[in-house]
């Protein structure tokens, strides 16, 4: 499911952004996420192809390819999303024309769903990894005072 891959990808990137030295291996990331290292490597490959991380083979681990302020949730979403498939799919509808409004419903839904997806993507584009890192640090900073 794209939503789960997206959440895990953000988790991975947050860990990379907050870990100095980029020495996080797929095993360490998997332990933090609560999944298998193979899942992490698969998602890391997608993030690398999108230009968001660099992967060093072997024990080297991974590191961000851009500054956290330059990585938006929208970019991460696009990296995890299957191209050409809408987040909110629509059923096909009746195979033959009817006198009821049924044949027009799938197209009507597609328009509404596309609008909702565009609004979500715009909202995700307004939040950076640095914004999330700042929020992640806030509880620790509040406890220190």
**CATH, residue 28:** 1.10.10.10
State the Cα–Cα distance between residues 34 and 11, nearest whole angstrom. Answer: 11
Name which residue leads in pLDDT, 115 or 88: 115
Q: What is the pTM of this model?
A: 0.84
pLDDT digits (tens, 9 = 90+) for 8-30: 999 999 999 998 766 688 898 99
Q: What's the domain count of the chain? A: 1
Residue 61: pLDDT band by 50, 70, 90 thresholds? confident
Considering only CA atoms, which of 85, 92, 87 is closest in space to residue 115?
87
The range of the structural domain enclosing residue 102 comes to: 2-144
Residue 54: pLDDT band by 50, 70, 90 thresholds? very high
Residue 56: pLDDT band by 50, 70, 90 thresholds? confident
* Environment class of 52 (CB within 10 Å of its CB; exposed 0-12, middle 13-18, buried 19+): buried
Name which residue leads in pLDDT, 25 or 37: 37
pLDDT digits (tens, 9 = 90+) for 90-142: 988 776 766 778 888 999 999 999 999 999 999 999 999 999 999 998 876 66
State the Cα–Cα distance between residues 83 and 73, nearest whole angstrom. Answer: 17
Considering only CA atoms, which of 91, 128, 107 is closest in space to residue 10?
128
């Amino acid at each position: 499911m794209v939503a789960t891959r997206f959440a895990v990808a953000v988790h991975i990137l947050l860990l990379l952004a907050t870990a100095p030295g980029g020495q996080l291996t797929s095993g360490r990331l998997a332990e933090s996420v609560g999944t298998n290292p193979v899942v992490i490597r698969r998602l890391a490959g997608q993030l690398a192809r999108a230009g968001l991380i660099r992967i060093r083979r072997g024990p080297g681990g991974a590191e961000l390819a851009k500054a956290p302020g330059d990585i938006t949730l929208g970019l991460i979403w696009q990296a995890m999303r299957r191209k050409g498939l809408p987040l909110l799919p629509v059923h096909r509808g009746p195979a033959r024309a009817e006198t009821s409004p049924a044949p027009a419903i799938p197209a009507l839904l597609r328009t509404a769903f596309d609008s909702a997806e565009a609004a979500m993507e715009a909202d995700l584009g307004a939040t950076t990894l640095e914004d999330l890192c700042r929020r992640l640090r806030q509880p620790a900073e509040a406890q220190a005072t």
